[in-house]
């Protein structure tokens, strides 16, 4: 009883007039509240003594008691909304709110009213017993759905048949059916994870469908059955022969992939049921719900509130289809320049075209030949957020010649020179008078350069007029180790070699606007001349614009799956602001990156 009183005084201590107002505001009155207020007048005929009457008025009019009732009501609604498995929690609340507090309240009042008559004591005890009986009713309440009565016309020899009744709303059933090639039976082919059938827990893969709403389906085609189902409203009754194989209960899978291609089930002739398909775009993050079927996985778009999974082609199936379909695209070979632009040291870039000779100015180190490993299907990803103080992700800019990569890099460097930096290229060219080793270039011997090529030290390298130029992996490491953001522009085929846990590259594809917009915005822009390495430049020609746009299209088709951001460089200051914001987010927010990058 001490505990009861303690609980009661504790609650009372917190129910100041102000608190009562607050409680009343959050827990608006309901029927029980009014009933409590009306109780004294209802009990009036049974109470002979006026003091008893006053006691009842005081007791049921007591504001603290009203507030406790409101708290109880709120508790009751909470109680109903909690999941059935939180029994211990419920019992705790039942004990506190339905037994301890009412008993404590009554005990307090009974004690304080020494002149209480026997009849009133009985009345109060009656209320107490009613409260306990209410408690029992609530405690025993069943939370399971009520099952429909079994149909009476079940044959004795059909004892293995299961009758399932589902109430259908607008949501599809979330199951596909097929005809068994050998037996001709109609079978449940798959259950979409999180769909209505899955949530019911009553229908399983392999169950044989005998009837839908009393209509036998043995002689029907799957499409006809689907039509019957689609036309059915409200409760649908299935008669099924359960599959012998018991499915193990499955936990919600936690595998996420990034889609590397666009997919529209309506356009897919191979999908067994278009309605069950899940459409997605390149770059979407998908949660894989089931890989039971080697050809059709089940997935949902990450963060989507709809719990029902949809069908998507499996990785293996998509790779096979892609390999059959995909023509080999090769980018026009580009050449590079090593000019300095208005005091800004360019990073080494293999990107210049030589229209005169149409020959590669530098030979690219890496093969551009399409191989199976590059087939863009899905990539397993995991969330990654850079810890403060950890190395920055490498920022890689990709785009066609003249699109404005250097312009954007320059703006970033000027905006925060302490934060952003670029790599210093290596060359075998002789150092000029005004140059300093390790500032414009690392000047090294041809022999050393060739040794470094042999040891895979360069991410890109090439030869121009008998001299080597290259960007080394160590030059990237050197920037990152200073805790700076390293800005690098490379040819897109080198991206796959940079995609490592060490560099975690954030790849931005800088895309030109339309040719019309290029004409308008690039009036004063200059292309760097391919004829020499002295930094001479010339105004853009119509041909330059056309090539820029078509090269961008090819790059996007071939390497689009590796781009994390596509930035259209139309208005320069807008493009710069967008890039700056994106890079800020990369540093501070969680992103989806290949799962291997998060495991080391």
Ligand X SMILES: Nc1ncnc2c1ncn2[C@@H]1O[C@H](COP(=O)(O)OP(=O)(O)OP(=O)(O)O)[C@@H](O)[C@H]1O
Helix locations, 82-205, DSSP H: 87-93, 101-112, 118-139, 196-200
Q: Is 428 in the site for ligand X (CB under 6 A)?
A: no
Out of 242, 383, 525, 594, point to the residue binding ligand X (CB under 6 A): 525
Q: Which stretch binds ligand X (CB under 6 A): 200-208, 213-221, 404-412, 417-425?
A: 404-412
CA-CA distance, 568 to 571, in Å (whole number)? 9
Member of 392, 442, 522, 561 binding ligand X (CB under 6 A): 522
The piece of 134-142, 249-257, 411-419, 521-529 that touches ligand X (CB under 6 A) is 521-529
Residue 351 makes contact with ligand X by CB under 6 A: yes
Strands, E, within 100-230: which ranges?
Answer: 162-168, 175-179, 186-191, 208-212, 215-216
| The one segment of 129-137, 241-249, 395-403, 553-561 that binds ligand X by CB under 6 A | 395-403
Is 377 among the residues that bind ligand X (CB under 6 A)?
no
Four-CA torsion 34, 40, 43, 44, nearest 10 degrees = -130
As a whole number of angstroms, the distance between CA 83 and CA 94 comes to 15
| Residues 258, 369: Cα–Cα separation, whole Å | 24
Q: Does 406 bind ligand X (CB under 6 A)?
A: yes
CB of 567 to ligand X, least distance (A): 11
**Minimal distance, residue 409 CB to ligand X, in Å:** 8
* Contact status: 403 vs ligand X (CB under 6 A): yes
Span interacting with ligand X, options 71-79, 462-470, 567-575, 577-585, rule CB under 6 A: 567-575
Closest approach, Cβ 291 to ligand X, in A, equals 42
> Which positions from 153 to 192 touch ligand X by CB under 6 A, shown as an x/- string?
----------------------------------------
- The SS3 assignment for 349 reads strand
Alpha-carbon distance of 11 to 62, in angstroms, equals: 14
Does the protein bind ligand X through residue 572 (CB under 6 A)? yes
Please report how close the Cβ of residue 548 comes to ligand X at its closest, in angstroms: 9
- Cβ within 8 Å of residue 447, ≥6 positions away: none
Tell me, by CB under 6 A, how many residues bind ligand X. 18
Which window, 8-16, 372-380, 398-406, 455-463, contacts ligand X (CB under 6 A)? 398-406
- The secondary structure of the chain in percent helix, strand, coil, rounded to multiples of 5, reads 40, 20, 40
Task: Determine the Cα–Cα distance for residues 352 and 355; give it in Å rounded to an integer.
Answer: 9
Using CA atoms of 299, 301, 306, 307 in order, give the dihedral in degrees to the nearest 10: 40
407 binding ligand X? (CB under 6 A): yes
Residue nearest to ligand X (CB): 404
Selected binder of ligand X within 526, 531, 534, 585 (CB under 6 A) = 526
**Shorter beta-carbon distance to ligand X: residue 390 or 581:** 581
Nearer Cβ to ligand X (90/335)? 335
* Token digits of residue 511: 């895309």
User: In the block, which residue shows the tokens 């097929």?
Assistant: 178
> Does residue 345 interact with ligand X by CB under 6 A?
no
Report, in Å, the least distance between residue 584 CB and ligand X: 20
- Specify the residue, 475 or 491, whose C-beta has the smaller distance to ligand X: 491
Say whether residue 528 binds ligand X (CB under 6 A).
yes
**Residue with tokens 């614009």, as numbered in its chain:** 545
Residue 106: its H or E element: helix 101-112
CB of 400 to ligand X, least distance (A): 7
Closest distance of CB 570 from ligand X, Å: 6
Distance CA 112, CA 424 (A): 89
Alpha carbon 52 to its chain centroid, in Å, reads 65
**Least CB distance from residue 575 to ligand X, whole Å?**
6
Q: At what angle do helices 63-81 and 2-14 cross, to 10 degrees?
A: 100
Smallest gap from residue 349 Cβ to ligand X (A): 6
Strand-pairing partners, residue 286, are: 257, 301
In angstroms, rounded to a whole number, what is the distance separating the alpha carbons of residues 525 and 12?
78
**Least distance (Å) from ligand X to the CB of residue 544?**
10
Under the binding rule (CB under 6 A), the answer on residue 423 touching ligand X is no
Q: Does 80 bind ligand X (CB under 6 A)?
A: no
Is residue 265 a contact point for ligand X (CB under 6 A)? no
Q: Which of 569, 579, 593, 597 binds ligand X (CB under 6 A)?
A: 569
Nearest to 93, CA basis, from 125, 109, 63, 71: 71
Q: How far apart (Å, rounded) are the C-alpha atoms in residues 212 and 200?
A: 17
Nearest distance from C-beta of residue 401 to ligand X, angstroms: 4
Q: Which of 172, 222, 265, 404 contacts ligand X by CB under 6 A? A: 404
Vertex 516 angle, CA 510 and 518, to 5°: 40
CB of 245 to ligand X, least distance (A): 60
| DSSP H stretches of helix in 289-393 | 315-325
CB of 403 to ligand X, least distance (A): 4
The first and second tokens of residue 577, run together, are 């602001």
- Applying the rule CB under 6 A, the residues between 449 and 508 that interact with ligand X are none
Which residue, 314 or 337, has its beta carbon nearer to ligand X?
Answer: 337
Maximal CA-CA distance, the chain: 119
DSSP label at 74? H
Q: Which residues bind ligand X (CB under 6 A)?
A: 349, 351, 399, 401-407, 521-522, 525-526, 528, 569, 572, 575
């Amino acid at each position: 009883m001490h505990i009861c009183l303690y609980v009661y005084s504790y609650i009372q201590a917190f129910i100041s007039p102000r608190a009562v107002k607050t409680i009343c505001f959050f827990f608006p009155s309901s029927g029980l509240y009014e009933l409590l207020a009306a109780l004294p007048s209802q009990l009036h005929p049974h109470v002979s003594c006026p003091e008893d009457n006053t006691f009842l008025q005081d007791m049921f009019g007591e504001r603290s008691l009203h507030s406790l009732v409101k708290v109880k009501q709120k508790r009751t609604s909470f109680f109903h909304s909690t999941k059935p498995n939180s029994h211990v929690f419920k019992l705790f609340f039942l004990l506190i709110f339905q037994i301890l507090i009412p008993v404590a309240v009554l005990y307090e009042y009974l004690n304080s009213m020494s002149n209480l008559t026997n009849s009133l004591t009985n009345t109060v005890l009656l209320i107490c017993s009613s409260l306990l009986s209410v408690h029992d009713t609530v405690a025993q309440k069943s939370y399971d759905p009520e099952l429909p009565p079994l149909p009476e016309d079940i044959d004795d020899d059909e004892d293995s048949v299961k009758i399932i009744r589902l109430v259908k709303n607008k949501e599809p059933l979330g199951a596909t059916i097929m005809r068994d090639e050998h037996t001709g039976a109609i079978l449940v082919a798959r259950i979409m994870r999180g769909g209505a059938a899955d949530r019911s827990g009553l229908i399983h893969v392999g169950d044989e469908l005998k009837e839908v709403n009393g209509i036998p389906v043995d002689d029907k085609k799957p499409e006809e059955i689907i039509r019957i189902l689609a036309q059915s409203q409200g409760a649908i009754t299935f008669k099924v022969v359960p599959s012998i194989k018991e499915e193990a209960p499955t936990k919600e899978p936690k595998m996420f992939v990034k889609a590397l291609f666009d997919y529209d089930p309506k356009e897919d002739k191979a999908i067994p049921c278009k309605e069950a398909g899940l459409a997605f775009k390149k770059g979407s993050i998908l949660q894989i719900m089931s890989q039971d079927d080697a050809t059709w996985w089940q997935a949902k778009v990450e963060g989507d509130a709809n719990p029902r999974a949809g069908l998507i082609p499996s990785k293996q199936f998509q790779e096979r289809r892609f390999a059959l379909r995909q023509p080999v695209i090769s980018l026009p070979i580009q050449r590079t320049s090593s000019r300095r632009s208005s005091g800004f040291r360019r990073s080494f870039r293999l990107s210049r075209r030589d229209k005169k000779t149409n020959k590669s100015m530098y030979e690219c180190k890496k093969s551009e030949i399409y191989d199976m490993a590059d087939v863009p299907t899905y990539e397993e990803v995991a969330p990654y957020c850079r810890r403060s103080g950890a190395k920055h992700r490498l920022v890689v800019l990709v785009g066609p010649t003249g699109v404005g990569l250097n312009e954007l890099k320059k703006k970033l460097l000027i905006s925060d020179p302490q934060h952003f930096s670029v790599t210093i290229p290596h060359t075998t060219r002789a150092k000029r008078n005004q140059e300093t080793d390790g500032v414009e270039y690392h000047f090294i011997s041809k022999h050393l350069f060739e040794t470094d090529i042999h040891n895979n030290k360069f991410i890109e390298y090439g030869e121009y007029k008998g001299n080597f130029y290259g960007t080394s992996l160590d030059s990237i490491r050197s920037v990152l180790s200073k805790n700076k953001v390293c800005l690098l522009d490379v040819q897109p085929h080198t991206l796959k070699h940079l995609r490592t846990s060490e560099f975690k590259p954030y790849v931005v594809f800088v895309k030109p606007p339309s040719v019309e917009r290029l004409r308008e915005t690039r009036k004063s822009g200059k292309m760097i001349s391919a004829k020499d390495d002295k930094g001479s430049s010339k105004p853009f020609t119509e041909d330059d614009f056309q090539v820029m746009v078509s090269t961008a299209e090819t790059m996007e088709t071939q390497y689009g799956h590796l781009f994390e951001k596509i930035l259209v460089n139309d208005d320069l200051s807008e493009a710069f602001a967008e890039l700056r914001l994106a890079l800020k987010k990369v540093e501070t927010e969680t992103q989806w990156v290949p799962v291997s990058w998060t495991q080391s």
